[in-house]
């Protein structure tokens, strides 16, 4: 059976992973300083970061329309379709995909189409997409891929450390109390994601390196990481990503660490130097 995996553009696969895999990307849109930036193959990270430095207002983002997901379903031309979106609690992307699914199933009642709420984003979406690829390539039936993929999402752990959380705060991606903390204090927060996909505070430090070190310590003390693969996504700071990889290699027992750079949506929220990991 043929299959395709449709992801929204908060899934930061490397260019090689995307081109060599069964993936179709549905882009979100970023608006800033009178410009509308489509998070597709035309995305220019340096240009967006420059606009973000030069403008006090945060970038605004818009999820794909149901029509864009319908176009992706049509483009796929596959027996089994799997869709991966960022957490439904932080974006309307999942809702748009669900609306598209309802329309699609009216015209294709026998279709195999399932939408996964990753309950994460960025590195978490990467992990879900690659896991689905692994499951589908193993020859599992559609229903079994859904079952195993859904279970994988419940076991996923996501952490991130950003230079600042202003863009998340100003765009309403943080809870009220946490938004007040980030506005009042000049500290670096170690953040995570709840099982439901809501952003939470995990710890804090006086510097970003201390926060990253704290993150690695938490991972090392989690026995569930042993033997897994880690996705490590950075925003325009490969040197920092290599530093974090080195810390992880010294104290953790992953079988592999896959590094990628942020695309548009992740860049808009993580900002320059941000680090996101998932396993």
Q: What is the pLDDT of residues 235-257, one digit of tens each?
A: 999 999 999 999 999 999 999 99
- 8-state DSSP, 224: G
Q: Is 110 helix (H, G, I), strand (E, B) or coil?
A: coil
Report whether pLDDT(186) > 70. no
Identify the weakest region by mean pLDDT among 3-7, 173-177, 204-208, 213-217: 173-177
What average pLDDT does range 138-150 have in this prediction? 98
Which tokens sit at 171?
Answer: 């765009």
User: Are the beta carbons of 165 and 174 closer than 8 angstroms?
Assistant: yes
The structure tokens 């796929």 sit at: 76
Of the candidates 195, 198, 199, the one whose C-alpha atom is nearest the C-alpha of residue 165 is 199
Confidence band for 165, pLDDT divided at 50, 70 and 90: confident
Give the model's pLDDT for residue 189. Answer: 87
**What digits encode the pLDDT tens for the residues 202-234?**
998 989 999 999 999 999 999 999 999 999 999
Return d(Cα 143, Cα 229) in angstroms, integer: 24
């Amino acid at each position: 059976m043929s299959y395709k995996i449709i992801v929204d553009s908060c899934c930061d696969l490397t260019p090689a992973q995307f081109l060599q895999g069964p993936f179709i990307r549905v882009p979100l849109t970023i608006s800033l300083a009178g410009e509308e930036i489509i998070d597709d193959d035309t995305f220019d990270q340096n240009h967006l970061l420059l606009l973000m430095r030069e403008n006090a207002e945060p970038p605004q983002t818009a999820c794909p329309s149901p029509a864009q997901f319908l176009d992706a379903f049509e483009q796929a031309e596959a027996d089994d379709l799997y869709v991966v979106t960022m957490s439904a609690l932080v974006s309307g992307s999942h809702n748009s995909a669900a609306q598209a699914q309802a329309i699609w199933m009216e015209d294709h009642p026998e279709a195999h189409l399932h939408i996964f709420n990753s309950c994460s984003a960025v590195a978490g979406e990467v992990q879900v997409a690659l896991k689905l690829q692994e499951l589908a390539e193993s020859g599992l039936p559609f229903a079994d891929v859904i079952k195993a993929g859904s279970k994988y999402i419940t076991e996923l752990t996501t952490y991130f450390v950003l230079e600042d959380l202003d863009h998340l705060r100003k765009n309403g991606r943080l809870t009220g109390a946490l938004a007040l903390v980030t506005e009042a204090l000049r500290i670096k927060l170690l953040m995570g994601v709840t099982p439901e996909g809501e952003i939470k505070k995990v710890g804090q430090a006086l510097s970003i390196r201390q926060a990253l070190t704290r993150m690695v310590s938490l991972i090392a003390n989690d026995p569930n990481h042993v033997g897994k693969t880690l996705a490590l996504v950075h925003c325009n700071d490969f040197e920092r990503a290599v530093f974090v990889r080195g810390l992880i290699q010294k104290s953790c027992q992953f079988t592999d660490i896959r590094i990628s750079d942020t695309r548009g949506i992740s860049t808009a929220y993580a900002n320059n130097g941000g680090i996101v990991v998932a396993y």
